[in-house]
Amino acid sequence: MRRPGGRTSQPISNPSQEILAIVEAEFGALLEFLPAPLLVTSEAGEILRANRAAVLFLDRGVPIIHQRLDVVIGSQLVDVSTTTLRYKRTVLRLCALQHHNW
């Protein structure tokens, strides 16, 4: 888009995508190869990133990206440990999954 004075404006980026890109750049390879099942979710619980261990752990048979974490887990007995990541006004959550032990 061209503005008066000849300047062009940059498209406004999605804050969730911006922080997810930072997480990917800093920790993407590490997340992928850790043996622990890890997910990155939005503040609302939408799964934005899942490592291979999480996909195998959840064993859904269907893609889980852009699904809500509570829906994906459903009635499975799963413990979720969460760390909150904040950047500007955006919040993401790093979630570690493990089977619930009675």
Please report the DSSP string for 12-81 in residue order.
Answer: PPPHHHHHHHHHHHHHHHHHHH-SS-EEEEETT-BEEEE-HHHHHHH--SS--TTSBHHHHHTTS-EEEE
Tell the residue number behind the tokens 């979710």, with chain if given: 41
Q: With 70 as the cut, is the pLDDT of residue 73 above it?
A: yes
Q: What is the pLDDT, as a whole number, of residue 15? A: 64
Q: What is the pLDDT, as a whole number, of residue 27? A: 75
Structure confidence by residue, pLDDT tens digits, 3-48: 444 444 444 456 667 777 777 777 777 888 889 999 999 999 999 9
Q: What is the DSSP letter of 101?
A: -
CA–CA distance, 4 with 28 (Å, rounded to integer): 40
Of the ranges 7-11, 21-25, 79-83, 89-93, which one carries the lowest mean pLDDT score?
7-11
Of the ranges 58-62, 66-70, 87-91, which one carries the lowest mean pLDDT score?
87-91
Q: What is the pLDDT, as a whole number, of residue 16? A: 66
Strand partners, 91: 86
Look up the pTM and report it: 0.75
CATH fold, domain 15-99, is Beta-Lactamase (3.30.450)
